[in-house]
Amino acid sequence: MAVYIVTGGAGFIGSHLVRHLAELGNSVRVLDNFSTGSRQNLLGLGKEVEIVEGDVRDPVAIHGAARNADYVIHLAAQISVPASVEDPITTDEINTRGTLNVLVAARDGGARRFVLASSCAVYGDSPHLPMREDDPPAPLSPYAVSKLAAEHYCQAFHQLYGLPTVALRYFNVFGPGQRADSPYAAVIPRFEEAVAAGRAPTVHGDGRQTRDFVYIDNVVEATVLACQSDRAAGRVINIGSGRETSVNELTDALSRIAGREIVASYAPPRPGDIRRSVGDISLAHDLLGYECPVSLEDGLGRTFEFFVGKTRPE
């Protein structure tokens, strides 16, 4: 039985990953400070999942949680671009220094693999589409800068200490359980919750901005593959759908799923947001065997059913 530690394991991506790892018969230790993650996300898990309340900014907590871990998957982060613009210092403390703390603990604990959840935000408004891992980074926000720094720390630890690291540049992940009640919530949960409740969704900008939306099950699969692939060690790899979708096209897709016309309202764009984004996922295919099996439409339908269920009276 392999031992996994998942930092941020009570969050949206983390809780999906923890459940999947447990279903595969692994022992999973979750480290989370529950600032944004929720214990409810981990309800119903068996004794193979241990929950440790702690913060990645605390080296003592990290070293304790990382004991005897075969695989360390580092998801804990301050993930909001607007929040990073408002408070860049805290973002750096969590995302950069926090990653360094977890890397040191993984190195000292003899982990077999360290997987970082990085972000497509490191590319900025790249003129090259689809975005490739060897494109020059151009981060536009403190959040993006912190993720790029974390990637460099991973590569340094791989070269200096022989710790096999993989940095996964997640694109725009969505799915059931994603929070829509935060002012910094991602576009799909905000849209789907509004539509399920009969409200008009709000688009920041003109709606022609594009993203590479990738369903949560695809991201979980890619993350597990990154723990196992020998060829992935020391690499940075895009994880997305490889499909560019505008926010207006997203609105049209939700109209089809909901079975009624959805008319969005428009607001000013948010600081630090990029204009266009889509990833080249050929390296993930080559190194991980990643296939992105759940399409955007199927994922949107599954997520919409989740939000419809939340709006139904008890």
Q: Rounded to whole angstroms, how far apart are CA atoms 194 and 185?
A: 12
Q: Rounded to whole angstroms, how far apart are CA atoms 309 and 29?
A: 30
Is there a contact between 146 and 96 (Cβ–Cβ < 8 Å)? yes
Phi, psi of 214 (to 5 degrees): -130, 130
Q: Residues with catalytic annotation?
A: 143
Radius of gyration of the chain (CA): 19
Is there a contact between 168 and 239 (Cβ–Cβ < 8 Å)? yes
| Angle (deg, nearest 10), helices 247-258 and 296-311 | 60
Phi, psi of 182 (to 5 degrees): -100, 145
Give the number of other CB atoms < 10 A from CB of residue 275: 12
Which stretch of DSSP H or E encloses residue 166?
A: strand 165-170
Helices vs strands, H then E, count in the chain: 11, 13
Strand order of the sheet with strand 71-74? 49-53, 27-32, 3-7, 71-74, 113-119, 165-170, 235-239
3-class DSSP assignment, residue 307: helix
